[in-house]
A and B are shown apart, each in its own frame.
Chain A
């Protein structure tokens, strides 16, 4: 195993760090310079002196953090230099603006996958294969029990779920950034022709997407939650945080569902407390991760986020790929 000092990217205080460039990648505590792969809350923090991201991510970050942040943007594929290190963003297919980040120094290539997916998603750029020597990949769904169905199959299931209960209001919970827009796009291509209502948090993101040229079908913002009970036969998109607590308490004519990759497991579906689960994810499934590892031609792979033990062992045993482990990672 290589020693920590020689690695271009290391794991430090729970974050990925490039010492030569002195940049942090998706840091969870304020730092002087942060590269941000995408605008989900668990990938950035408030209070960094400088942010660097794609243009789309910057717009979404400003929506979430405020207009007054110091942020530099670069296009996908555009090279920029920090302390002599060549850096570039590449589409990761996770959500709008999401990127993989490649570092090149002394002819050695390092690629941080960011959160990524291979599946079809018309609301963001498709995953781009980037060749590298070292790959640092997420493995949120790094077990072979995860195999996503075609997106349109899930969308049709959602459509049937709504239309089969015309006497009820269908509440679909999903992350407000990325998943919601992808679902809106997919549902518009199904037989469901009812109205779609959205919570204000989703509505805000929809507007950002539209500003960035993504075609999102019209939705109606919920002004008064009391009306929810009366919207039978229609669909409402809500963020998962509202499923807990008192928000749903007084509704009688509703059915609920959660759209998440975890819903492919029955025990988790049952435990989630939703009536129904739709297994749709913005992360790669097992095959997706393996495909990326292979096509990146990386000779050395690191995993983080998720059950890295199993996929590492599998790649070492079955594919003879050199899997490395960060020091200090749990």
Chain B
């Protein structure tokens, strides 16, 4: 089987909108290709790893060098296309380079297990020659796939759920099982594929794997028709969701993105290993202020997430805590089917047992979440409003009688988030978007008043409808003051309502403040720029917290 089949799969998936048809196409692909190629296909389609063999910039430079093509022209094309891999694909098509007559029939397996990894063994000159050779021997239709895999930008509108469904359908097994098998690390091989499509289900094989996560829905007003006593209330922490799996003595820390992050948090792995029992806990990992007993800002956690094997001093500077809110498995017994209120009793019971064994010494990395007991729904609301005081995002409301299922099922968990903070700001810069938004100005910068000057305070990409984006794009082109590369400075005229979750002092920014998750919530065509807020207003918001 050559790369061609995978190219075709990509093209098909890319142009089909119906979920059922996509599943059908995937199923047929798996049926007609070799296990090893299927394994790689799954690896790529689920985005398990998007290893970047060379960067997009490198690819563009390489093309420019080997074909003596002007760099500025490639850059101009990029602005229109928004994807390096695709630009080079289109340019390759245009240039009728002396194509090697021998067409390569490289398989997906060979490409990913040999050809691409081997690139790192070559020096730059050899590497460039090798890529050029592949371009000139690969059939034209496979260029896009090759360039995308090469630059680690292979993405197609297929969710892990869709892959799960198509494999489940292929072998006629429950989706849950496949979803479980697909969790965590996936090393492409004949074995891993055979494991995936094995109709027999073995427990040990699934040992280190987390359960599919249960996700919260957004709060709906109709919930308040129910008695407050039907629900459990917790603070909604702003950390990373983690399932802490301990089986046969081994700890695995799984994120919701199914990444294993043991290496980033060795102190947690270490301490939790002291506990005798096996278990699976669901909870939140945070950087914690142990003196104030309060969560620290997400930016502290970011110092830890992407750092593997953190030094002792980093561990002390950014101390982490795992706050468990659910117990899913204990001593090998899956208790997800037990009601939440009973799982909570078990959680508390085991936690106090573990904590009371002094040699465990777990209390500086592990606690269970405190519950909140609002008297009624309006009390719940006032708890929510106070959530910023303890650096949380609001409340999580859980149905006491619910079982732990997977996905975002209705009627089980809700997030009850505090309203965002808002400021009206003036649009002052726009930058061209990439990917789907290539060729449109979609990255915006907004400013607030400081005396008579507009000072940039936030950038936002999302929040407008497609029609608004098009309308604004037209306006931007007509109201440009200056162009600096892809950025345009604009006539200050348009006012937008910007919402965000957090505001804090920042020395890095000219405005002196940084906001988290800024997004556009309204195009205030009714407002003049003189109606926009000032930095003063932003500082006031900060004081309120």
Q: Which residues of A contact B (CB under 8 A)?
A: 143-147, 264-268, 270-271, 275-276, 285-287, 307, 309-310, 313-314, 317-318
Contact = CB atoms under 8 A, between A and B. Distances in A.
B86 interface: yes
Contacts of A313: 72-73
A271 B465 CA distance: 12
B310 interface: no
Given A143-B76, A310-B76, A264 B90 contact: yes
B438 A265 contact: yes
- Which secondary structure dominates chain B's binding surface? helix
B545 interface: no
Contacts of A145: 77, 80-81, 87, 90-91, 94
Interface string B70-105: 101100110011110011001101110000000000
B291 interface: no
Contact of B94 (A265, A268, A286): A286
Contact of A265 (B15, B17, B81): B81
9 contacts: A144-B73, A145-B80, A145-B90, A146-B90, A146-B94, A266-B86, A267-B83, A310-B76, A313-B73
A268 B95 CA distance: 22
How would you classify the secondary structure of chain A's contact residues: helix, strand, loop or mixed?
A: helix
Contacts, number: 65
A271 B70 CA distance: 29
Nearest to A268: B439
B81 A310 contact: no
Contacts of A275: 15-17
A275 B15 CA distance: 6
Contacts of A270: 436
Contacts of A285: 94
Contacts of A309: 76
Nearest to A310: B76
B466 A287 contact: no
B94 A287 contact: yes
B91 A267 contact: no
Given A267-B439, A271-B436, A307-B76, 8 more contacts: A143-B73, A145-B81, A145-B91, A146-B94, A147-B90, A267-B81, A267-B82, A275-B16
Contacts of B87: 145
Contact of B70 (A266, A276, A286, A314): A314
Nearest to B90: A145
A17 B444 CA distance: 40
Given A267-B437, A275-B17, A318-B70, A144 B82 contact: no
A204 B70 CA distance: 47
B80 A143 contact: yes
Interface in B85-134: 86-87, 90-91, 93-95
B407 interface: no
B94 to A, nearest CB: 4
A120 B161 CA distance: 45
A147 B140 CA distance: 13
A242 B95 CA distance: 37
Contacts of B438: 265, 267-268
B478 to A, nearest CB: 10
